[in-house]
Amino acid sequence: MTVHVTGSGQTAFGELWHESAESLARQAGQEAMEEAQVKPQQIEAVFVGNMLLPMLEQRAHVGRIVADALDLDCPAFRSEAACASGGMAVHLAILSLLAGHFTTVLVVGVEKMSDVGADIIGRGLMGAGSEQEQLQGATFPALYGLMTRLYQQTYEVSDEMMAAQAVLTHDHAYLNPLAQFHQKITITDVLKSSMVADPIRLLNASPVSDGAAALVLSTRAQSKKDRVVVAGMGEGGDCLDYAKRKAFTSFSATKVATAHALRQAHTMIQEIQAIEVHDCFSVAQVVALEDLGVCSPGTGADWIATGHGRVGGNGLVVNSSGGLKGCGHPVGATGVKQIVELYRQLKGVCGKRQVDSISQGLAHNIGGIGATAAVTILRRQS
Amino acid sequence: MTVHVTGSGQTAFGELWHESAESLARQAGQEAMEEAQVKPQQIEAVFVGNMLLPMLEQRAHVGRIVADALDLDCPAFRSEAACASGGMAVHLAILSLLAGHFTTVLVVGVEKMSDVGADIIGRGLMGAGSEQEQLQGATFPALYGLMTRLYQQTYEVSDEMMAAQAVLTHDHAYLNPLAQFHQKITITDVLKSSMVADPIRLLNASPVSDGAAALVLSTRAQSKKDRVVVAGMGEGGDCLDYAKRKAFTSFSATKVATAHALRQAHTMIQEIQAIEVHDCFSVAQVVALEDLGVCSPGTGADWIATGHGRVGGNGLVVNSSGGLKGCGHPVGATGVKQIVELYRQLKGVCGKRQVDSISQGLAHNIGGIGATAAVTILRRQS
């Protein structure tokens, strides 16, 4: 059984004061159904990725909220896995198709974060960590700050080298009309931006965002040529507590998920032309490159700083969408958006940020500080 | 591919002040793994059903919270579908096995409700309704109260007949050591209990409960005889808003889910010996009997009042566990507990509440006021 991506939808990402979770989900979902040329009655189930709606708005049954917004009376499943909610929702949808239980399903990732104050959103996001970390007030910037410091010390990596990641993602976001940020930045801009959690500065961190992304997945192909299929996928898990890990400058969940996905797809990371990685902070992207096998440990920052990963370059393109940093990070939408981006790259419709000669793409979505990882590989079948 | 139930676990249900969500999940999960004779390393993924933890304790990434409590480093998925979170978690786990993605997985349903005040739990549960209902202050007792009144008027059903449901479930709960309530009640007790939402009285309503239930599911059978397998399953959906429904005294989501499950299992409701139905309120059980095809519309209350559904009777047994009313209703655990009960019935280990000559059982779990339904059929293979 083969799972095809047959449609995609994505709202602009940003601080969208005039939108609600429902209106965002509706726009992305309708766009995906129109692109897939399926009517609402043909959607047999909805899979929703969302983290924060219950905590921020005291509303649950989130799968049905999204299904209702789209006037769908089919069953609705909701996946929550912190910032990996979207990627895990896509995987659950794929599993339901591979099981033969459904033929055509809709996946919607959605988050509406900008309606509450920083204290509330901060507390909500801390909910993704361990209870111990929460009680100690260790926010995600704080935890990733510790990780950044350790990484830089261990591998003798400068702040300048870490900053290259932010510059790269803003350059790509500049080319993406749906991205939250459309201004290019320099290394100096990053180094001069305000300190968030030493050594993480504002421009090393992804923003608070609103947005939705959607996919139609089906075991029935839409067309006979240029099909985009799910070639492989894997998930990994690790304890919530960063302090209890065996390794502090890599995520074993990413490694496990990647190995599974590559094996299932019968491919190697070297045979992939575009990756969307979970760059919630600069260090997360650097470590992801290493955990995915693009670079050896300690060389990820240098790899980016020396010009790799760019659209228009000769090699692998990293975060053509602008990533979490440049495109925005509406938590539950992110994992779905990554796969929307790869699908559109494989369809060749990405305009100025189009990756040349692409046949395979990989999405990497994590939750917590690497406690959940979902890795998905898409492939074009000509 | 066949999915086998190979182990089950369940904590006592009740107001368990000394337990946390973690300790409950740990107990149920460990019991299920021990019964299935699998080591933690053999569990390839955890599927968690939980509704309220993020709203009541501001903690998310709930799949990982449970996985950590059990020292499992495998991937963790979380399903949230209000009171159907557990049933939908079981279905997602089954799909992951049918897809061939995993071989052996653990499902844990867990809820810890008694640590917060009635106002907070009330608001949390209202989160499962539509936004419109929330804004109007229509709680679930209020909505089911409207449904009860309409049902009783339409079909000329007395309060006495509705009360028979509560008596039945308390009689069964009396036989279940894990049930929240162990006192038998009479029709008079029900009719004299305090009014909650006219005509729903206290003893027509399921309680606030803590508890966890767990299952090990595997495509590898444990033994060559007396296997318990998943014979069929289905899900249904409907809009959150009760006021927008096409029918007010039945749930189309239940009908759709049941038809799918029965078709998949190549069976009929008449060939099933035990059902666990979602009796959050008396009317919910009565309507479930009708939607499942046990009784024709308007006859469900009479069917129970005339002595059907009882352990030790000649026919179909309803809610041998005590149901939500008698056994308790820790929201995310309920859908998993229903399947634990059927598995144990099919294994013949239910002691005083054992159903005679049982070969098939059906579980019916709903979320909201019938906005999500999950129906699962288990079968013994001798």
Summarize the confidence of residues B78-88 as an average pLDDT.
98
**Distance set, CA B278 to CA A209, B47, B94, B269 (Å):** 38, 21, 21, 16
pLDDT given at position A82: 97
Count of pairs with CB atoms under 8 A, one residue in A, one in B = 184
Q: Do B127 and A95 touch (CB under 8 A)?
A: no
- Interval A261-282: pLDDT, tens: 999 999 999 999 999 999 999 9
- Interval B291-349: pLDDT, tens: 999 999 999 999 999 999 999 998 999 999 999 999 999 999 999 999 999 999 999 99
Q: Which residues of B touch A371 (CB under 8 A)?
A: 61, 64
Q: B200: number of CA atoms within 13 Å, CB side?
A: 24
pLDDT given at position A226: 74
Q: Do A235 and B45 touch (CB under 8 A)?
A: yes
List beta partners, residue A233. A376
Q: Which residue in A55, A76, A252 is closest to B55 by CB distance? A: A55
Percent of chain B predicted with pLDDT > 70: 100
Q: Which of B22, B43, B52, B101 to mutate to test the interface with A (most CBs of A within 10 A)?
A: B101
Q: Which of A44, A52, A55, A77 to mutate to test the interface with B (most CBs of B within 10 A)?
A: A77
Please provide the size of chain A in residues.
382
Mapping DSSP onto H, E and C, the string for chain B reads: CCCEEEEEEECCCECCCCCCHHHHHHHHHHHHHHHHCCCHHHCCEEEEECCCHHHHHCCCCHHHHHHHHCCCCCCEEEECECECHHHHHHHHHHHHHHCCCCCEEEEEEEEECCCCCHHHHHHHHHCCCCHHHHHCCCCHHHHHHHHHHHHHHHHCCCHHHHHHHHHHHHHHHHCCCCCCCCCCCCHHHHHHCCEEECCEEHHHECCCCEEEEEEEEECCCCCCCCEEEEEEEEEEECCCCHHHCCCCCCCHHHHHHHHHHHHHHCCCHHHCCEEECCCCEHHHHHHHHHHCCCCCCCCHHHHHHCCCECCCCCCCEECCCCHHHHHCCCHHHHHHHHHHHHHHHHHCCCHHHCCCCCCEEEEEEEECCCCEEEEEEEEEEC
pTM over 0.90: yes
Residues of A carrying an active site annotation:
83, 329
The residues near B187 (Cβ < 8 Å, ≥ 6 apart) are: B160, B163, B164, B167
Q: Which of B43, B55, B70, B77 to mutate to test the interface with A (most CBs of A within 10 A)?
A: B77
- Interval A224-251: pLDDT, tens: 777 999 999 999 999 999 999 999 999 9
Q: Confidence class of residue B354 from pLDDT cuts 50, 70 and 90?
A: very high
B99 to chain A nearest CA, in Å?
4
Q: Do B64 and A81 touch (CB under 8 A)?
A: yes
Token code pair at residue B378: 């288990």
> What amino acid occupies position B318?
V
Report helix, strand or coil for A227: strand
Q: Which residues of B touch A48 (CB under 8 A)?
A: none
Report d(CA A40, CA A87) in Å as an integer. Answer: 23
**Distance set, CA A295 to CA A156, A320, B42 (Å):** 16, 18, 31
- Interval A322-352: pLDDT, tens: 999 999 999 999 999 999 999 999 999 999 9
pLDDT score of A127 more than 90:
no
Q: Confidence class of residue B264 from pLDDT cuts 50, 70 and 90?
A: very high
Query: What chain B residue is nearest to A63 in terms of C-alpha separation?
Result: B81
Mean pLDDT of chain B, nearest integer: 96
Q: Which of B47, B61, B74 to mutate to test the interface with A (most CBs of A within 10 A)?
A: B61
Q: Do A61 and B82 touch (CB under 8 A)?
A: yes
Q: Do A371 and B100 touch (CB under 8 A)?
A: no
Report d(CA A274, CA A288) in Å as an integer. Answer: 14
Mean pLDDT of chain A, nearest integer: 96
pLDDT score of B375 more than 90:
yes
- Interval A282-301: pLDDT, tens: 999 999 999 999 999 999 99
Catalytic residue among B172, B329, B350, B364: B329
Q: Which residue in A61, A101, A371 is closest to B64 by CB distance? A: A371
Q: Which residue in B52, B77, B129 is closest to A88 by CB distance? A: B77
Summarize the confidence of residues B48-69 as an average pLDDT.
96
Q: Which residue in B97, B123, B371 is closest to A58 by CB distance? A: B123
pLDDT score of A118 more than 80:
yes
Q: Do A77 and B79 touch (CB under 8 A)?
A: yes
Q: Confidence class of residue B377 from pLDDT cuts 50, 70 and 90?
A: very high
Q: Confidence class of residue B118 from pLDDT cuts 50, 70 and 90?
A: confident
> What amino acid occupies position A237?
G
B120 to chain A nearest CA, in Å?
10
pLDDT given at position B60: 93
Q: Do B101 and A98 touch (CB under 8 A)?
A: yes
B271 to chain A nearest CA, in Å?
23
- Residue B349 has a CB neighbour count (10 Å cut-off) of 10
Summarize the confidence of residues A207-212 as an average pLDDT.
97
- Interval A358-380: pLDDT, tens: 999 999 999 999 999 999 999 99
Q: Do B61 and A131 touch (CB under 8 A)?
A: no
Task: Please name the residue ranges forming H helices in chain A.
Answer: 21-36, 53-57, 62-69, 85-98, 118-126, 131-135, 140-155, 159-174, 187-192, 252-265, 282-291, 300-305, 331-347
B264 to chain A nearest CA, in Å?
10
Q: Do A61 and B95 touch (CB under 8 A)?
A: no
- Interval B277-300: pLDDT, tens: 999 999 999 999 999 999 999 999
Q: Which residues of B touch A99 (CB under 8 A)?
A: 94-99
Q: Do B55 and A58 touch (CB under 8 A)?
A: yes
Q: Do A124 and B60 touch (CB under 8 A)?
A: yes
- Interval A316-325: pLDDT, tens: 999 999 999 9
